[in-house]
Structure 1
Amino acid sequence: MVSQHGAQVLVASNRGPITYSLGDDGELDARRGGGGLVSGLSSVSDKLWVCSALGDGDREAVRRGVSEDGVRMLGIAPETHADAYNGIANSVLWFVHHMLYQTPLEPVFDAEFRRQWAAYEAYNRAFAEALAEEAAEGAAVLVQDYHLCLVPGLLRELRPDLRIGHFSHTPWAPVDYFRLLPDDIAEQLLRGMLGADRLGFLTRRWADAFTACAEDRLGGLDGTEVGVHGLGADADFLRARSHEADVDERLAELRADVGAAADGTPRRTVVRVDRTELSKNIVRGLHAFRHLLDTRPEWRDRVVHVAFAYPSRQDLAVYRDYMAEVQRVTDEINAAYGTDTWTPVQLGLKDDFARSLASYRLADVALVNPIRDGMNLVAKEIPVVSDDGCALVLSREAGAYEELADDAVTVNPYDVTGTADALHEALTLPPGDRTERTKRLAAAATALPPQQWFLDQLEALRAL
């Protein structure tokens, strides 16, 4: 099954570097994305990216045999993909690793779960077979994330000659929470992962959690190496992009929206930029801002919470309900405290990257308070882009905490009053202190830029 003309370096992920859209005229339009994997692979020859067709345009491209150089898109049946992606990856594995279940009621591992798990197996098997078919002898394969936990083990059976790595972009659940999974499923996941020669995690905490689960279930790592690679911000890209004309335009609009207090003093800003993801803790952040206004009236009319909460997984009811709660709490705060000239919370729900970068530049305080997060690049990006220095209020449950805690104001994400106190502390930091902290945060945030992050993993895998 070894390819005679196969790739020497392969990446596998649910979402690929290219997306197709189908025009009204029937023509396919290809749009390339960015990110660490894209930039990392750009310096590698003899490479192939294996990904799934996600939308109608992608599936039509597969049907027509349209492909881009260096990309193989898999035409997995839409119903199989939906069960694997939404039914298992996003509704079970994501919930386990982010510890999101309301355990008196969920999870329920019933016959429907088993049906969806079969789809997850089929989805992973399709990737393993494609990688086995496309890889040159001895090639390096880097499998990405919780969607593809079974691929390393399946691929090892098909191609024992390959060097296989897997990288987790999420946290890993602690032992007691991982035990929520049915025993056979937990063991299958771990054995799938341990089919890799090397596993990568964003922080030592997540790596140690995986190791503990493997020891609890299987008695150890069975020779698999575990490494840590803390993905950093891409400083060159961010600094250049954040000063392009469209960002300057959005920045002027934001400044006008934030405005000045009654005495003419420019209002301060508390900025958050997130997907409306359950783990991001947006609602508690809003409650903390309301508590700040409740208990420290000196901030009324003098601070605005710029909250960009972009849609995420709106095909799942629990996410739609969460977005509705974000809107409800925002409206409640604005009704209670807003005036004709001051809107305390300015909520943005439409994804706009230029506007996000403008808010990074404007922020006096960045609020990053996830319940649990693999890394959280927003915490790293804002100090890099900030015009005048920005205080960072950071959850101790974010992966970025390991690198940024010394210069952030850190919080327990469940503690609303504590987060309100942290916002006050951040807003009142002396300018010199804030500037120096921002410099150190930016240096830590860019220590391992995306391209080097990827190449380090590839080098470590080849060195085994």
Structure 2
Amino acid sequence: MVSEHATPKVQVLLASNRGPVSYALKEDGSLESRRGGGGLVSGLSAIGDEVESLWVCAALGDGDREAVRRGIGEQGVRMLDIDPEVFAQAYNGIANSVLWFVHHMLYQTPLEPSFDAEFRRQWASYETCNRAFAEALAAAAGDGARVLVQDYHLALVPGMLRELRPDLRIGHFSHTPWAPVDYFRMLPDDIAARLVRGMLGADRLGFLTRRWASAFMDSATATLPDETEAFVPSGEGRRWLRHRVPGRAPHETDIAVHPLGADGDFLRRRSREADVEERIIALREQIGAGRRTIVRVDRTELSKNIVRGLHAYRHLLDTRPEWRERVVHVAFAYPSRQDLAVYRDYTAEVARVAEDINSAYGTASWTPVLLHVQDDFARSLAAYRLADVALVNPIRDGMNLVAKEVPVVSDAGCVLVLSREAGAVAELGDDALVVNPYDVVGTADALHAALCMGEGERAERTKRLAAAGTGVPPRRWFLDQLEGLGS
């Protein structure tokens, strides 16, 4: 029996599109569960037994939906079985084909976007999905609970939840960049306003870098000039937005920056396990003795800029013939979002350009590009360890953990060639070779400089990159957000 004087547990609710567990339907009709990883899983596990937690997520596939229907699940996890067609319109139609494109500035603006009647139908589904999350959180949360909402999929949830449960402490974290104000305002005015109002329902908004936080503040005040007022003190002090809603007291939303670092302890331990050692042997055989390596590990996401990276490597081979047969580009491009035609086309283009380079320059004993498209984490870690140069050249990226991970596990030290449009440049820029991601010639020159760098300088840069990249590991990143939200 609990004493009447016992301190009640603090309650923390986490909301994200993807949850910590997924289910696959096997041929015999049984369900197989699979655990996920990442910063959220690590962070939630760090809060301790004195905190009651619940993770609300979407059922993403047939296995997940069947698990919900059968009442199968894990303690502390609630999956929402949203109508598959509604979910697809919200996820693919809006989150991945509109919001992702806006924040990563991916549109070919002479032709797109075109916000027509179909867009409005899909937007209605996006609102429906967000409302399902808000209602589930409102129903599950105890008095004064803290709620951490994740990413662009759920941008409307804070505002919806605030209307349902004004007693809650609500946070939202953006894992992507935030678009510059003029790009953000390509969205229809009412939709842009809806997004900003939804975000400002939170008590605290978190971003990966100061740049993205400032872009949101600019977007908010430009989109809702009569409703919002920004407070930005000099230096690193508190920044916030005051949002005025007719008939209510003004609501203040803190704007916070929480850079996410790599989990150094996990990476060092995992990169020394037997399966990684086996893949190192296989990769060395494919690369060939005595050759240098330029490594990249990405999803075939449009923003990752893989094709221009390949063109830069080709330019290196074309203009610096001394590197032919002396360097191999190890490119891991793992397929992403293949249910969208534009992603399938991009994946095919990556393969085509890699094959063109191999056809043009390859010899019987040298394959210039080793392209792997089958996801294999152990093989990625093996490539990290072997890298002489790590190429991370996104068009735009909220952070980019690969840039932080490679220096942590590199065997002999590596040079990081890093896009100035990656959020990680704020922490790693001093010790990386920073490039314009659109400049193929400039990137090729940086690759040459990286390959020519002396061992001593390379080792010192790698040491500093590893220290900077692990400064805020996932558990600390999560706990900082929770502590910042307060009680």
- 1:6 Cα deviation from its structure 2 partner: 9.7
Q: C-alpha displacement at 1:7, in angstroms?
A: 7.3
Secondary structure of the residue that 1:167 maps to in structure 2?
A: strand
- Cα distance per residue 1:5-47 (max 9 Å; x no partner): 9971000000000001111121111111111111111122200
1:319 aligns with 2:343: yes
Deviations 1:307-363 (A, max 9, x none): 000000000000000011101101110000000000000000100000000000000
Deviations along 1:67-126, whole A, 9 cap, x unmatched?
Answer: 100000000010011000000000000000000000000001000000000000000000
Identity rate, percent: 76
Which 10-residue stretch deviates more, 440-449 or 29-38?
29-38
- What is the CA–CA distance in structure 1 between the aligned matches of 2:410 and 2:106, rounded to whole Å? 32
Matched, 1:237 2:266: yes
Q: Which TM-score applies when normalising by structure 1?
A: 0.97
RMSD (Å), alpha carbons: 1.0
- Partner of 2:72, secondary structure, is coil
Label 1:7 to 1:128 Cα distance change in 2 as closer, same or farther (>3 A). farther
**What's the CA shift string for 1:149-194, capped at 9, x where partnerless?**
0000000000000000000000000011011100000000000000
Query: Are residues 1:427 and 2:461 paired?
Result: no
Quick check: 1:24 aligned with 2:30? Answer: no
2: CA distance between counterparts of 1:337 and 1:372? Answer: 30
| Counterpart-to-counterpart distance in 1, 2:24 and 2:360 | 44
In structure 2, C-alpha distance between the alignment counterparts of 1:173 and 1:39, rounded to whole Å: 28
Name the counterpart of 1:145.
Answer: 151
**Aligned counterpart, 2:18:** 15
Rounded Cα–Cα distance in structure 2 between residues aligned with 1:15 and 1:337: 42
Instruction: Flag structure 1 segments of 5+ consecutive residues without an equivalent.
Output: 261-265
Q: Which residue does the alignment assign to 1:455? A: 479
Separation in 2, partners of 1:151, 1:19? 23
Contact 2:11 2:142 in 1 (8 A): yes
Q: Distance in 1 between matches of 2:378 and 2:475?
A: 22
Could you tell me how far apart the structure 1 residues matched to 2:15 and 2:426 are? 28
Q: 1:292-371, aligned counterparts within 5 Å?
A: 292-371=316-395
Task: Select the residue among 395, 407, 418 that pairs with 2:431.
Answer: 407
Q: Which residue of 2 aligns with 1:389?
A: 413
TM-score (norm 2): 0.92
- Alignment pair present for 1:277 and 2:301: yes
- Is the contact made by 1:304 and 1:343 (CA closer than 8 Å) also made in structure 2? yes
The CA distance in 1 between the partners of 2:464 and 2:110, in whole Å, is 43
CA distance in 1: counterparts of 2:37 and 2:355, whole angstroms: 35
* 1:385 Cα offset (Å): 0.8
Q: Tell me which stretches of 4 or more aligned residues in structure 1 moved more than 3 Å.
A: none
The one of 276, 285, 303 equivalent to 1:256 is 285
For 1:36 and 1:100, how far apart are their aligned partners in 2? 26
Q: Which residue of 1 aligns with 2:81?
A: 75
CA distance in 1, matches of 2:66, 2:82: 12
CA distance in 2, matches of 1:186, 1:36: 29
Name the amino acid aligned to 1:72: R
Residues 392 and 416, structure 2, Cα contact 8 Å, conserved in 1: yes
Residue 209 of structure 2 aligns with an amino acid whose one-letter code is: T
Any idea what SS the aligned residue of 2:128 has? Answer: helix
- Cα displacement string for residues 279-321 of structure 1 (whole angstroms, at most 9, x for unaligned residues): 0000000000000000000000000000000000000000000
Q: Which one of the candidate residues 170, 179, 185 is aligned to 1:173? A: 179
Amino acid at match of 1:236: D
**Counterpart selection for 1:33 from 27, 36, 39:** 36
Contact map agreement 1:6 1:136 (CA 8 A) in 2: no
User: What's the counterpart of residue 249 of structure 2?
Assistant: none
Return the alpha-carbon distance in structure 2 between the equivalents of residues 447 and 109 of structure 1: 42
Please give the secondary structure, in 2, of the residue aligned with 1:131.
Answer: helix
Q: Specify the alignment match of 1:47 in structure 2.
A: 53
Deviations, residues 112-151 of structure 1 (Å, cap 9, x unaligned): 0000000000000000000000111100000000000000
